[in-house]
């Protein structure tokens, strides 16, 4: 069965909603991923390829955060989207504006996530 565009949209919208929900932990994010999934965030960094590493990656995001989906395109089981993520740390606030690319399986699980951003896409304040 092929992954529908609606399945891709639903997965991305759930991902963004979880980025705004301060009760969600790395384990919750890891549950969005398929077995054997990979994460490369940002592109060019070491690729994460096991559930423990993906969970640790998401646990590093502070609970005090908010995300807004800006634009989304889906086709043939893949999604590309831009969003804004604001993270509040004890001593500063950081906003990042990445473009993410996901491959999503027919069950709505993320098989691959690659985040496109650099220092130029981060603001502090």
Residue 33 falls in the annotated catalytic set: no
Strands 65-75 and 110-116, by their bridges, are unpaired
Given the residues 33, 41, 58, 100, the one annotated as active site: 41
Given the residues 15, 33, 58, 100, the one annotated as active site: 15
Residue 91 falls in the annotated catalytic set: no
Q: Is the dihedral of CA 87, 110, 23, 9 positive or negative?
A: positive
Residue from 72, 119, 73, 74 nearest 97 by CA? 119
Which residues are tagged catalytic?
A: 15, 41
């Amino acid at each position: 069965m092929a992954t529908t565009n609606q399945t891709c949209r639903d997965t991305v919208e759930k991902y963004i909603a979880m980025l705004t929900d301060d009760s969600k932990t790395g384990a919750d994010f890891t549950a969005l991923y398929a077995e054997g999934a990979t994460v490369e965030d940002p592109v060019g960094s070491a690729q994460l390829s096991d559930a423990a590493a993906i969970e640790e990656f998401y646990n590093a995001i502070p609970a005090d955060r908010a995300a807004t989906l800006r634009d989304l395109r889906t086709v043939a089981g893949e999604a590309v989207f831009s969003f804004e993520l604001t993270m509040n740390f004890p001593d500063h606030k950081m906003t990042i504006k990445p473009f993410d690319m996901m491959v999503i399986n027919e069950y709505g699980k993320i098989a691959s996530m690659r985040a496109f951003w650099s220092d130029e896409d981060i603001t502090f304040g």
